[in-house]
Amino acid sequence: MKSRGRKVFNVVNDAGGLTWFIGCGITCANSKRTSIMQPPIAPENNTPHVSRRQFISTGALATGGILLAGVSCSTTDHAQPAPVAGVGTPTPFVTPPLPYDYKALEPYIDAQTMQIHHDRHHEGYTRNLNAALDQEPQLKGRTIEQLMAGTAALPASARMSIRNHGGGYYNHNLFWEIMAPAAGSMPGEPLASALTKAYGGLDKFKAQFTDAGMKRFGSGWAWLIVKADRSLAITSTPNQDNPLMNGIADATGTPILGLDVWEHAYYLKYQNRRAEYIAAWWQVVNWANVSARYAAAIR
* pTM of this structure: 0.71
Alpha carbons 77 and 101: distance in angstroms, whole number? 10
pLDDT at position 62 is: 38
Whether residue 23 contacts residue 37, with contact meaning beta carbons closer than 8 Å, is answered with yes
Average pLDDT, the chain: 78
CATH 3.90.79.10 fits 102-297, yes or no: no
pLDDT value at 5 more than 70:
no
pLDDT value at 233 more than 50:
yes
Give the start-to-end residue ranges of the domains of the chain: 1-39, 102-297
User: Which region among 158-172, 179-193, 224-238 has the lowest average model confidence (pLDDT)?
Assistant: 179-193
- Mean pLDDT confidence for 148-170: 97
Q: For residue 274, name the pLDDT band (cuts at 50, 70, 90).
A: very high
Nearest to 224 by CA among 160, 189, 279, 175: 175
How many beta carbons lie within 10 A of that of residue 187, not counting itself?
20
